[in-house]
Chain A
Amino acid sequence: MALDFSIGRTLLPNLITVTLTRPGTALAVTVANVQEQAERSGDRTGGSPALLPGTDTTYNLWSLDLGAVVPAKDDRITRADGRTFTVLGVDRCAHGARYRCHARKDVGS
């Protein structure tokens, strides 16, 4: 019997629904049951002497809610409040059942 990694995912608190889009393509998928981890604001450049700030966060998207879509770097995640985040990297978790998307808030959104 195979393990069901997706079971219980809807029991997590504060799930949100986001829209995942891919710039340059027509891809736009509404993804439910997304768990957002803590936002962190701070300086985001390591170079000297400039300082440019940013806000990072992480979204957990479940394969079951994504359909056939696999999140990729540079995808956009749009929240219900209109803020958009760009995916900087994706961790493939739980044998592909969950994608942990590291994202940075777009400047001006």
Chain B
Amino acid sequence: MSIADDVAAEILSVIGGLGLTVDGAGVTLSQRKLPAVDEALDSLPMLVLAPSDGPDDDAPFDTGTDGTSGRRLQEYVYDGALIAKGNRDYAAALADYRAARQAISLRFGRARPLATAGVLYVVPEPVPPLVDRSLVAGHYDYSSLRLRVGVVVSA
């Protein structure tokens, strides 16, 4: 298990604690390689946590007392996509989407780090569209947030 795995699992656990719902149905959580669902197998609404299409980051954090034992700041980037039934109804459950985005954004504010050792911050950041919305089947509602997690690790 990598740090990325640990962080992803904890993010999902924290989001699970938010008790998100869409149109009265509880949001199921899933870790996947892509923000993708299966029409027949998946239970919607679903929040999919997937690696971002952007790179993770690794940079010096401090030099340490002897100048050589410094720690490093690594950043892991995740996309959380909330996918639900839409069926070309563009207004239903809009309040749920806003509430979900708000709950996730506020929970992962700069001042509220995760419990994982070394996690310095989790920052929601503006996300480019994960999908071209003009190409999406209007049959799915789709909303996404990108989370950037900074972790201080020993060199």
Residues of A within 8 A of B (CB): 23, 41, 44-55, 74, 84, 86, 104-109
Contact = CB atoms under 8 A, between A and B. Distances in A.
B22 interface: no
A51 to B, nearest CB: 4
Contact of A51 (B34, B86, B89, B138): B34
Interface residues on B, range: 20 to 34
Chain A CB count within 10 A is highest, among B34, B85, B135, B137, for B137
Per DSSP, chain A at the interface is loop
A84 to B, nearest CB: 8
B86 A107 contact: yes
Interface string B29-59: 0000011111100001000001001000000
A59 B155 CA distance: 63
A23 B89 contact: yes
Given A41-B39, A51-B34, A53-B39, A46 B85 contact: no
B132 interface: yes
Interface string B131-149: 1110111111010000000
B91 to A, nearest CB: 11
Nearest to B141: A107
A46 B36 contact: no
Contacts of A53: 37-39
B81 interface: yes
Contacts of A52: 36-37, 83, 131, 136-137, 139-140, 142
Interface of B: 34-39, 44, 50, 53, 81, 83, 85-89, 129-133, 135-140, 142
Contacts of B132: 45-47
Contacts of A44: 136-137, 139
Chain A CB count within 10 A is highest, among B87, B132, B133, for B87
A55 B34 contact: no
B44 A107 contact: yes
A19 B64 CA distance: 73
A109 B85 CA distance: 10
Nearest to A84: B87
Contacts of B38: 53
A86 B130 contact: no
A92 B138 CA distance: 23
A49 B83 contact: no
Given A50-B81, A53-B39, A104 B137 contact: yes
